[in-house]
């Protein structure tokens, strides 16, 4: 299969979920990693990959965005760990690189195999790809925000990651994913988001990188990960075998 970006014949083991995000996960004090998707728990420390979608060069370009995002999220988890919940700003990081990172994750999942959790970006796919690769400015249909799901104030541990999946927010088509402790909600829809208390963190309102911090306990990503982590035959089993 040829590279879906440039058509080159040789594709490589392209990461859908980069290794860097899998290695960081902790559940309680146990080192672990997992995807929560359709209640499936897939422990891995090496990432999730698809061998048939991208060549080395095209994978590498998205990889640079992923490394930038991973570093940014580490800075957030370190520097804001004792901050109160709410909206924050991180002036030293480039917002466009973070939004392009999000576009890259969605686009890769749109060209992934069905059994790896392929998503459908419909007619928006081409522009999301171009935006991810820096070929066009952010299209207005592509907007969103991210929130650090923090376990407790003072705790920077990450508990899970989650591949993108489609949701509807008051009739607006969006995708949701969790990487590096950050929950992304991305609109892929010509209609705008309704104004909300988090409007200030929407990409369209962020000339600097804005985000928010929220208690993880209120989110299914946390409650599901916890449930899955302690189920017999899932994580505990994996740790026994690999500990
Ligand atoms: Zn390529």
Q: List pLDDT tens digits, range 72-108.
A: 999 999 999 999 999 999 999 999 999 999 999 999 9
Query: Do residues 48 and 15 lie in contact, with contact meaning Cβ atoms separated by under 8 Å?
Result: yes
Residue matched to tokens 């935006």 = 131
- What the block records as the tokens of 25 is 């996960």
> Mean pLDDT over residues 131-159, rounded?
95
209: CA distance to ligand 1 center in Å?
Answer: 29
64: CA distance to ligand 1 center in Å?
Answer: 15
68: CA distance to ligand 1 center in Å?
Answer: 21
2: CA distance to ligand 1 center in Å?
Answer: 8
- What the block records as the tokens of 120 is 């459908």
> Mean pLDDT over residues 3-7, rounded?
97
5: CA distance to ligand 1 center in Å?
Answer: 5
Can you tell me the distance from the alpha carbon of 4 to that of 128, in angstroms, rounded to the nearest whole number?
13
214: pLDDT strictly greater than 70:
yes
111: CA distance to ligand 1 center in Å?
Answer: 13
14: CA distance to ligand 1 center in Å?
Answer: 11
Confidence of residue 159 (pLDDT cuts 50, 70, 90): confident
pLDDT digits (tens, 9 = 90+) for 192-212: 988 889 999 999 998 999 999
243: CA distance to ligand 1 center in Å?
Answer: 37
Task: For 108-139, give one letter per residue: b (16+ CB within 10 A) or e.
Answer: bbbbbeeebbbbebeebbebbbebbbeeeebe
60: CA distance to ligand 1 center in Å?
Answer: 9
pLDDT digits (tens, 9 = 90+) for 24-69: 775 544 444 455 554 455 556 677 889 999 999 999 999 999 999 9
């Amino acid at each position: 299969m040829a590279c879906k970006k440039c058509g080159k014949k040789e594709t490589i083991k392209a990461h859908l979920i980069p290794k860097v995000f899998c290695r960081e996960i902790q559940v309680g004090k146990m080192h672990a990693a997992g995807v929560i998707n359709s209640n499936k728990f897939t422990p891995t420390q090496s990432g999730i990959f698809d061998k048939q979608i991208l060549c080395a060069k095209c994978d590498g370009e998205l990889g640079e965005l992923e490394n930038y995002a991973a570093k940014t999220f580490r800075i957030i988890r370190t520097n804001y760990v004792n901050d109160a919940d709410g909206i924050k700003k991180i002036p030293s990081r480039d917002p466009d690189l973070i939004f392009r990172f999000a576009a890259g994750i969605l686009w890769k999942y749109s060209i992934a195999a069905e059994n790896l959790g392929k998503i459908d970006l419909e007619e928006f796919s081409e522009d999301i790809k171009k935006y991810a690769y820096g070929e066009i400015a952010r299209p207005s249909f592509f907007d969103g925000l991210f929130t650090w799901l923090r376990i407790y104030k003072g705790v920077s541990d990450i508990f899970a990651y989650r591949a993108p999946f489609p949701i509807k927010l008051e009739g607006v088509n969006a995708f949701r994913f969790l990487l590096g402790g950050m929950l992304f909600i991305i609109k892929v829809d010509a209609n705008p988001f309704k104004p909300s208390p988090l409007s200030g963190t929407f990409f369209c309102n962020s000339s600097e990188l804005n985000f928010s911090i929220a208690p993880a306990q209120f989110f299914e990503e946390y409650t599901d990960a916890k449930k899955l982590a302690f189920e017999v035959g899932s994580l505990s089993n994996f740790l026994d075998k690999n500990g």
